[in-house]
Structure 1
Amino acid sequence: MLFDERPKEKREDLFDRDNEILTIKNNIKRPLIVISGVRRIGKTSVLLVALNEIKENFILIDCRKLKENYGRKDLYSLFSQALSSKLSYLRDILERVRGISILGNYVEIKWKGREYLSLSDLLDNLNKKRLIIAIDEAQRLRGPMSNEVKDAIAHAYDYDKNLTFILTGSEVGLLHDLLDIDNENSPLYGRYYFELSLERFSRDLSEEFLRRGFEEFSLKVEDNIIKEIADYFDGIPGWLTFAGNAYLNMRKIEEVKERAISIAKRELEHLIEEKSNVSQITGRRYKNTLRCLARGKNTWSSLLQCLQEEEGSTISSSVFDNIITNLEKLSIIKDYEFLDPIYKEAAKRLR
C-alpha cells in the first residue's frame, strides 16, 4: 500500500524511485555507499527495496536506537541484534569466533574483558561470506565511539572485499562529518564513497502518488484537494504519505495540515530541549533563530539582527555562525531557508 507509513520493502509498495533502486544495484559491489536526503524523503524504503531485490544477505543496524553519548555496550548491542537476524546464514562463522556466544537465536558479543572482540576483528570474520552491512541514520554514530567505528570501516574498506557498507542519513552535514574523508586525521581519509542523494517528488509525481494512494482505498478525491496537498507538502514522500492517511480519516485538509505542523513542532522542540541540556542560553538561541528564519529573515545580517532583538543583547558572529552551521548540518535549513515547509510553519509557533 502506498500510504503504509512503515518503510516499504517491496517494489509494488514503493512509488517511483526506479532509477534510485537501479543505481544502488549497479554500485552494490563498492565498499562504501551513502544514501542521503532530508527527513521523510524515503531513504530506508529505497534501501530495503533495493536490498530485497538484490537478493544478497544483509544486516540492518538502526542507529536511531543510540543515545547521544552512547558507549561500546550500546553499539555492540545493535550489532548483536543485527547479526541475530541473519543467524541462519552466519552461524557457521560466528560459532568459531572468540568473543561471540550463541544462545538460542541470539548472538552475544563480548565488549570488554579477556575475550573482548574488536569491531575490526568482527568484520574480518564476517568477510568469510558475502555480506552487506546497512547502517540507518549513521550520523548518530558520531560521538565517543566514532573513531573506533571509522577505524573498523576503513580497515574493512581496504581488506574485507566481501563486505559492502551502506550508510543512510537524514542529517546530511552530520553524516559527512562522521565520514570526514577530507580530514587527514580521519581513519577514512581519502576513501571514495558513492553517494546517492534522494530528491523530492515533482509536483506531477506528488499528485500522481496521492491519486493512486486514494484509489487503493477506492476514494475519489477532488483535484483541487490533491493539488493543495501536493503544494503544501512540497514533494516529500513521508509527508505526502502522512497527509494521505490523515485525509482518509479526517476529510478536512486544514486538520491534516495542523496535525503535520504539530508533529514537526514537537520535533523542533526536542532539538531545542537537547540544546538546552547544554545550556538554557543555547536552547533559547536556537529557538529564536528558528523563529526568525520562519519570519523570512533570509540573509546573514537580517537574521543576526532579528536574533539580537529577540535576545535583547549583542551576539558574537562566531556564536551565530555556529548555530546556522549546525542547523544546516541537521538538514533543517540551507541558505537561510527551511528545507521542509512544515518545519517553517512549526517554527512560527515556537514559544
Structure 2
Amino acid sequence: MLFDVRPKESRKELFDREREIREIKMATEHPLVAITGIRRVGKTSVLKVALHEVGRPSIVIDARGLKQNFGRREFYALLANALKPSLPRLGDLLRSIRGIKILGLEVELSWKNESLSLVELFDRLNERKVVIAIDEAQRLRGPFSPEIRSAIAHAYDYNRNLTFILTGSEVGLLHEFLGVEDEDSPLYGRFIHEITLERFTEEQSIDFLRKGFEEAGKKVREEVLEEAVGELDGIPGWLTFFGNSYTAGGHDLQSIKRMAVRLALKELKNLLEGRPERYGHVLRAIAGNRRSWSEVKRYVEEREGCTISGSVLHNILENLEKMSLVKDYTFLDPIYEAAARLL
C-alpha cells in the first residue's frame, strides 16, 4: 500500500524511484556507498527494496537506536539484533567467530571478555558477497566511532566481497563521521559512491496521492491533492502521512498538518537534545522569515538579552546545515519550519 507509513520492502509497494534503485544495485560493486537526502524522503524504503532485489545476504543496522556517547556495549547490542535476520544465510560463518554465540534464533555478542573484533567479523563475512547497511549512520558519531571507522577502512582495503551502504538524513554529520576529508581519519581520501534522493516534483506528488487514493478506494477532489502538495512540498513521508490520515477519515488538511507538525516538533526537540538553547532561538529566527545573518543575530540577542559573538552564531548555523535542517536561512522541510515556530 502506497499510504502504509512503514518503510516499503518490495517494488510493488514503492512509488517511482526506479532510477535510484537501479543505481544502488549497480553501486553494490563499490566498497562504500552513501544514500543521502532530507528526512522522510524515502531512503530506508529505497534501501530495503534495493537490498531485496540484489539478492545478496545483507545485514541492516538501524543506528537510530543509539544514544549520544554510546559505547561498545550499546553498539554490540544493536549489532546483535541486526545479525539475527541473517542467520539462515550467514549463521555458519557467524558461529565460527570468537565473541559470537548463537542460541536458537538469538545472537549474543561479547563486548568485554574475549570481545568480538569488528575486523574479524568483516574478514569472515568476506567469504561471501555480503552487503552491510547502516541506516542513519551519522548516529555512529561518538566515543566508539573511531573503532567502527577503522574497521570499515580495513574492509574497504581488504574485503572485496563486502559492500557498506550508509544512509544519512543529516548529510553534513554523515560526512563528518566518515571523515573522508579529514587527514586523521582512516577513511581519508576513500571514494564514496553517493546517491542523493530528492523530493518528488509537483507532478510526481499529485500522481503519488492520486494512485494512493485509488489503491485505497477513495475518491478525492483534484484541488484537495493540489492543496496538500502545496503544503507538504513533495516530501514522500509527509505525503504518505497525509494520505494515510485522510483515508482513515481525517478529511481536514489543516488538522492533518497540525498532527504532522506535532510529530516534527517532537523529533526536532530530540535532535536538539544536549545542545544549547541558542539553537532553538536560531531556528525560531529562521522560521520567522529572518533571512540574513544580521536579522538572525539581532533576534537571538533580543531573546537572550546579551550579545552573541559572530563565531558562535557561525558554528550554530553550520551545525544546523550539517543536520540538514536549514540551508541559506531557509528550512528544507516546511513541516519542520512550522514546528520550529513552536520551540
Q: What is the TM-score with the length of structure 1 in the denominator? A: 0.95
Equivalent-residue separation in structure 2 for 1:199 and 1:106 (angstroms): 38
1:215: which partner in 2? 214
- Is 1:349 aligned to 2:342, yes or no? yes
- Is 1:98 aligned to 2:91, yes or no? no
Measured at CA, do residues 61 and 272 of structure 1 come closer, stay the same or move farther in structure 2, by a change above 3 Å?
closer
User: Per-residue deviation at 1:98?
Assistant: 2.0
Residue 132 of structure 1 aligns to a residue whose secondary structure is: strand
User: Per-residue deviation at 1:107?
Assistant: 2.1
Equivalent-residue separation in structure 2 for 1:180 and 1:272 (angstroms): 23
Partners of 2:51 and 2:58 within 8 A in 1: yes
User: Per-residue deviation at 1:239?
Assistant: 0.4
Equivalent-residue separation in structure 2 for 1:150 and 1:170 (angstroms): 19
Equivalent-residue separation in structure 1 for 2:83 and 2:162 (angstroms): 14
Equivalent-residue separation in structure 2 for 1:194 and 1:80 (angstroms): 27
User: Per-residue deviation at 1:95?
Assistant: 2.1
Most deviating of 302-311 and 56-65: 302-311
User: Per-residue deviation at 1:290?
Assistant: 1.1
User: Per-residue deviation at 1:349?
Assistant: 2.3
2:33: which partner in 1? 33
1:86: which partner in 2? 86
User: Per-residue deviation at 1:274?
Assistant: 2.9
Cα deviation digits, residues 54-101 of structure 1 (max 9, x gap)? 111101000011111111011111221222211121122122222222
Cα deviation digits, residues 22-79 of structure 1 (max 9, x gap)? 1111111110000000000000000000111111110100001111111101111122
CA RMSD of aligned residues (A): 1.1
2:270: which partner in 1? 270
Residue 46 of structure 1 aligns to a residue whose secondary structure is: helix
User: Per-residue deviation at 1:271?
Assistant: 3.2
Cα deviation digits, residues 296-321 of structure 1 (max 9, x gap)? 11111221111111211100111111
Gaps of 5+ in 2: none
Gaps of 5+ in 1: 276-281
Residue 69 of structure 1 aligns to a residue whose secondary structure is: coil
User: Per-residue deviation at 1:257?
Assistant: 1.3
Matches within 5 A, 1:200-349: 200-248=199-247, 249-275=249-275, 282-283=276-277, 285-349=278-342
2:180: which partner in 1? 181
User: Per-residue deviation at 1:268?
Assistant: 2.1
Equivalent-residue separation in structure 1 for 2:257 and 2:91 (angstroms): 49
- Is 1:110 aligned to 2:110, yes or no? yes
Aligned length: 342
2:3: which partner in 1? 3
2:123: which partner in 1? 124
Q: What is the TM-score with the length of structure 2 in the denominator? A: 0.97
Most deviating of 263-272 and 7-16: 263-272
Partners of 2:97 and 2:120 within 8 A in 1: no
